[in-house]
Structure 1
Amino acid sequence: MSLLLYNLFLLVYRSALHLAAIFNPKARLWVDGRKNWQNALKVALGKKTGPIVWMHCASLGEFEQGRPLLEFIRSIYPGHTILVTFFSPSGYEIRKNYPGADITCYLPLDGARTARKFIEMVQPVLVLWIRYEFWYYYLHRLKALKVPVLLVSGLFRGTEPFFHWYGKLHRYMLSCFTHLFVQNEDSVEKLRKIGSYSVSVSGDTRYDRVSAIAAQFEPLPLIEQFINGKKAIVAGSTWPEDEEELDHFANSNQKLRFIIAPHEIGEMHLKEIEQLFAHSIRYSHWVKNPVAMPEGPDTPNVLIIDNIGMLAKLYYYASVAYIGGGFGGDGLHNILEAAVYGVPVIYGPVYEKFPEAVDLIAAGGSFTVESALELEVKLTELLEDEKVHAEAARAASDFVKSRKGATALISNYIQENRLITN
Structure 2
Amino acid sequence: MLLLYNVGIKLYFLLIRLASFFNKKAKLWIKGRKNSALIRYPESIWFHFASLGEFEQGRPVLEQMRGLNPDVKIVITFFSPSGYEVRKKTPLADAVYYLPLDTRKNAIEFIETINPKLAIFTKYEYWYHFFSQLHQRQIPLYIISGIFRPGQIFFKWYGGLHRRILSFVTYFFVQDERSKQLLLNIGINNAMVSGDTRFDRVWANAQYPKVIPVVEAFKNGKNIFIGGSTWPADEKLVSALTRTYSDWKFIFAPHEIMEDKINDLINLLPKGSVIRYSQIAASAPHLSTYQTLIIDNIGMLSSLYQYGQIAFIGGGFGVGIHNTLEAAAFGLPVIFGPNYSKFKEAHDLVDLKAGFTITDEAGLKEVFHQLIGDEVFYAECRKKISTYVKEHTGATKTIIDYINAQQ
TM-score range for the pair, normalised by the shorter chain length: over 0.9
Residue among 315, 328, 333 paired with 1:344? 333
1:121 aligns with 2:113: yes
Counterparts of 2:301 and 2:322, CA distance in 1: 12
In structure 1, the gaps of 5 or more residues are none
> Residues 14-413 of structure 1 correspond to what in structure 2 (within 5 A)?
14-37=13-36, 40-42=37-39, 45=40, 51-278=43-270, 279-292=273-286, 299-328=289-318, 330-413=319-402
Moved over 6 A (4+): none
Contact 2:280 2:287 in 1 (8 A): no
Q: CA RMSD in A?
A: 1.2
- CA distance in 2 between partners of 1:103 and 1:292 (Å): 43
Q: Equivalent residue of 2:144, what SS?
A: strand
- Asked if the contact 1:64/1:209 (under 8 Å) is kept, the reply is yes
- Retained in 2: the 8 A contact 1:175–1:197? no
Aligned amino acid, residue 19 of structure 1:
L
Equivalents in 2 of 1:288, 1:140: separation in Å? 55
Q: CA contact under 8 A between 1:261 and 1:311: conserved in structure 2?
A: yes
1:83 is displaced (CA, Å) by: 0.4
What's the TM-score, normalizing by structure 2?
0.97
Aligned counterpart, 1:10: 9
User: How far 1:36 moved relative to its partner?
Assistant: 4.4
Cα drift, residue 51 of structure 1 = 2.4
Bigger drift between 99-108 and 210-219 goes to: 210-219
CA distance in 1, matches of 2:31, 2:149: 34
CA contact (8 A) 1:83 1:104 kept: yes
Q: Indicate conservation of the 8 Å contact 1:52/1:81, yes or no.
A: yes
Q: Secondary structure at the match of 1:33?
A: helix
Please state how far the C-alpha of 1:254 moved relative to its aligned partner. Answer: 1.7
**Residue identity opposite 2:88 in structure 1:** K
How far did residue 99 of structure 1 move?
Answer: 0.6
Instruction: Work out whether residues 218 and 287 of structure 2, in 8 Å CA contact, stay in contact via their aligned partners in 1.
Output: no
SS across alignment from 2:111: helix
Paired AA for residue 405 in structure 1: G
Contact 1:222 1:287 in 2 (8 A): no
Q: Deviations over 1:117-161 (max 9, x none)?
A: 111111100100111111101101110000000001111011111
Structure 2 gap segments, 5+ residues each: none
Deviations 1:242-267 (A, max 9, x none): 00111111122222100011000000
For the 8 Å contact 1:214–1:340, the answer to whether it is kept is yes
Deviations 1:299-327 (A, max 9, x none): 52111111111100111111111100112
Give me the identity figure in percent. 46
Q: Which amino acid aligns with 2:46?
A: W
Q: What TM-score comes out, normalization by structure 1 length?
A: 0.94
